[in-house]
Every structure is written in C-alpha cells, then in structure tokens.
Structure 1
C-alpha cells in the first residue's frame, strides 16, 4: 500500500535571531510570554497542515483553551500579529486564512528534497510571486493555468496591492480586500497621489494604511471621507475627520515639508483608475 501523501511538515526552522526581530521584540514587550507562545503555536498549526490554515468561529475558543489564555487577550494578540504583517491581514479578513509570505518561503525550503521527486501543487492562498516560487512548487495561479480564483484576495500576479498600484487600475473581479468597490476606488486614487508626491510605496506600507483606515472608523461613509480628504490634502497618512480636524492638524505631512503639493482633478483620477479615461 502506498504511503499517504504528506502535505505538512514534521518540523520547521526557527531562526537563531528570532528574538532580535523588532516585531517579535514588540510582541514580547506588549504581551509577554503569552504573545510569543501564541505566535509559535500558530506557526506549528500552519506547518502541520502545510503553508496556511483556514480558521472558523470556534478558533479563538480552541486556542484560548489550549494555551490557557483569556479569550480577549488571544484576540488582541492575533490582531497585533495581523497589524504587523506577521500574518497576511488581507487573507484573514476575506477568507479567515492565516499565512504570510515569510511562512511560505520557509515552507518551500523545508519541502525541497521531498518536492524534487514529487512537485507540490499550491493554490489560491499562495502569496509569493512567480519569481519567488521555487521550480518544484507548482502554483495553479500562475500563467498557463486555466483556473480562476474569483473573489479570492490572495496577492498573486496581477491582484496584489502593489501590482494594482503599478497598473493604476482597480481590478474588481480578483482584487478583494474587504473594501467596497467605492472605498477601494478612493483608496487606489489616494495611493496614486501619494506615489506621485512621495515615490513608490512598499507593500507593507500599503497594508498598514489599510489597517489604519479600518481602525479609524467602522462606518463605510466615514472611511471614504477620510480617504478623499487625505487625497485632496496630499497627506502621507490618514486622519479621522471631525470638526477639530478642519484646521491644522498635528502630524500632517503639509506641516513637515516645504514644497507645494500638486493639485489633482479627483474625478479624472478615478476615471483613470477605472480605465475610463
């Protein structure tokens, strides 16, 4: 009888400078040993399955019980890990999937010997670009594969925030971040203006901007207003809109730079992003 095909790992590498990582230092400073144990617990669960896990509504209860940790604290730690890109927040918000590009890089190195004989096929939750993926990893999302992953938020070729920025288009069919189409349009317009003012935006900063926007308000209309205000004002960050913010606001980019902001036709920019102009 053939041996069952193994998808996950029996063990995974942990860098010797793990505790020197600034994100890990902040995690430990804020949540102590609980934060570190929580993160390593999730890594074990992910690598046991392969390169990601998809959780459900019972997930927080199970992990809280396994680690003997208060459920509210577990939720706080998870939100921190997502906000610091230790896990991909876009995939978690859209598909309740826990993974990251770093996890997937370590995964493909760990399965190298095994996959040379039997290439491993990965699917819609693969975050690495084609040039980052080893030859023995066969990703169904890359060119040449006929399948489509409609409604999926993974950052494969042609649907990452970075790729959207380069193309200056909003690809509604495959780009899903949890934002409504109107909010995503406004956000992409903001990214275009910010890029023109300050240069290229790293993918991590784009995700941080999304996280900031979600934290500033839980109302769709207010989020759109925040984005449009930041776009029109040429700000480098988002600020909550209220009566006090109508004047000069502490920390705005305008106060910290001595050059004049470009003025933009917002309607024309949105048409450009949609491919109508």
Structure 2
C-alpha cells in the first residue's frame, strides 16, 4: 500500500542567531516572551501543513485559548508580525493567508530530498519568484512561460500564448481603449470597488468580466448603466436589469422601501466622486 503523501514538515530549522534578528528583538521588547511564543506557534502551525495557513474570523480566539493569552494581545502581536513583514501583509489582507517569502525559502530547503522524487505543487500563495524557486517546486504561476519546447512549432505556440496573456492584462490607465472612454472609465471604477470587496483580480478574470458585459447588451448606454449599478451595489459580477411591463411604476415606488440583495450579500454605499478621484490619482502615480 502506498504511503500517504505528506505536505508538511515534522520539524523545521530555526536559525542560531534567531534572537539577534532586529525584528525579533523588537518583538520581544514590545510583547515579551508572549510575542516570541506566538510567532513560533504560528510557524509550527504553518510548517505542519506546508508553507502557508489560511485563517478565519475565529482564528484569534482559538490561539488565545491555546496559548492562554487575551484575544486583544493576540491581535496586537499578529498586527506587529504583519507590519514588520514577518508575515506577508498583502496576502493576509486579500486572502486571509499567513506565509512569507522567508517561510517558503526554508520550506523548499526542508523538503528538498523528498521533493526530488515527488515534486510539490504550489499555487497562487507562492511568493518566491521563478528564479528563487527550486526545480522540484512546480508552481502553476510559472507554467507556460518557462517551459522549453523541442521544436520551433512549440516555441511559437508558447510565444503566442504569452502574447495573448499580455494583451489581456488589465491596463491601469483609466482611458484603456478596450471600451469607449466613458464606459472604460466606469469599468475601471467597478474593478477598483470589486477588488476592495473580493480581493485581487487576475487578468483572465478582468477579460471574462469584459466579455460578460458585452454579452448582456450591445447598447453602450445600457452597458454603462449595468456597470454603474454593479459598482454601486458592490457586486462581484454584472447582471442585466430586468423590468417587466406594467410593473415599472410600482418598482419605482418601492425603491425607498426595499434594497436589492444578491446571494444574501449586503450592498455597500460608495461615494462615486471620491472613488473616481482615487482612481484618477492611481492612474497618474
């Protein structure tokens, strides 16, 4: 019977000069032994399952119970660890994932021997660049860009694919020519709100949203209305307005009484002028 595949580590290396690291010294100075214990506790949890850990809203309370610390102190220490890059703050804010480039460097060294026979698959939470990643770590983010083909036909296909992905990548300029200027401006504003609500958007998702919008309507005015409604509602996708004849007047009367909801998601109110101003500033920076 085959041995079950093991993703995590039984033990992990701790540098001999761990306590000499400036970040660790500051952690100890601010939070005492509790800060050090919490950091090592999190490292153990992460390495036990691999190179990252997803957390939820009960995470701080579970740690509080395990380590007999107050939830407030757990939150303070975690905030410090994120602010000093002991964990990657961007990934934590977007996906509630705890990891770091340093954790991943140590992880790939620790699994080197066993991974030579059974390569490890890594996904979107892998932070190391391709040049820093060992050959036995197969990261989906690198696929299609570094593969070497045995003939010129294969190379042409890869080049074509790479060019296609580049062309689909979202342009931060609010005057992207994919849509007419006014519609593109509204679309970029929608992307900004969607990213705030649901996290980072990859280029393929942006392209899919463009295609969805075009499939809903061929009329530019209606497309603009769809985008603005999705932005104001903080929606994840576009939806075509459905108005049945004979009910329009009644629907208008009910506007102030009922708020539309999608999948039990509470709509958010946005200052559109403020969002447009931030988007313009982002494009100019």
TM-score bin, normalised by smaller chain: 0.5 to 0.7
Residue 113 of structure 2 is matched in structure 1 by: 113
Q: Which runs of 4+ in 1 moved over 4 A?
A: 171-180, 266-269
Larger Rg: 2
Q: CA deviation at 1:78?
A: 0.3
On the 8 A contact 1:50/1:107 being kept in 2, the answer is: yes
Q: Distance in 2 between matches of 1:174 and 1:6?
A: 39
**Does residue 1:77 correspond to 2:90, yes or no?**
no
Unaligned runs of 5+ in 1: 146-166, 181-219, 229-265
Residue 29 of structure 1 is matched in structure 2 by: 29
Matched position secondary structure for 2:29: helix
Matched position secondary structure for 1:2: coil
Q: CA deviation at 1:57?
A: 1.1
Q: CA deviation at 1:144?
A: 1.1
Residue 48 of structure 1 is matched in structure 2 by: 48
TM-score, length-scaled by structure 1 = 0.56
| Paired residue total | 176
TM-score, length-scaled by structure 2 = 0.54
Q: Distance in 2 between matches of 1:120 and 1:175?
A: 34
Q: CA deviation at 1:143?
A: 3.5
Matched position secondary structure for 2:94: helix
Residue 141 of structure 2 is matched in structure 1 by: 141
Q: CA deviation at 1:94?
A: 1.0
Q: Distance in 2 between matches of 1:5 and 1:92?
A: 27
On the 8 A contact 2:116/2:136 being kept in 1, the answer is: yes
Unaligned runs of 5+ in 2: 146-168, 174-187, 198-269
Query: Could you list the per-position Cα deviations for residues 86-139 of structure 1 after superposition, in whole angstroms to 9, with x for gaps in the alignment?
Result: 001111111110000000000000000000111111111000010000001000
Q: Distance in 1 between matches of 2:124 and 2:103?
A: 15
Taking the TM superposition and a 5 Å limit, the aligned residue runs for 1:220-239 are none
**Does residue 1:270 correspond to 2:272, yes or no?**
no
Q: CA deviation at 1:177?
A: 11
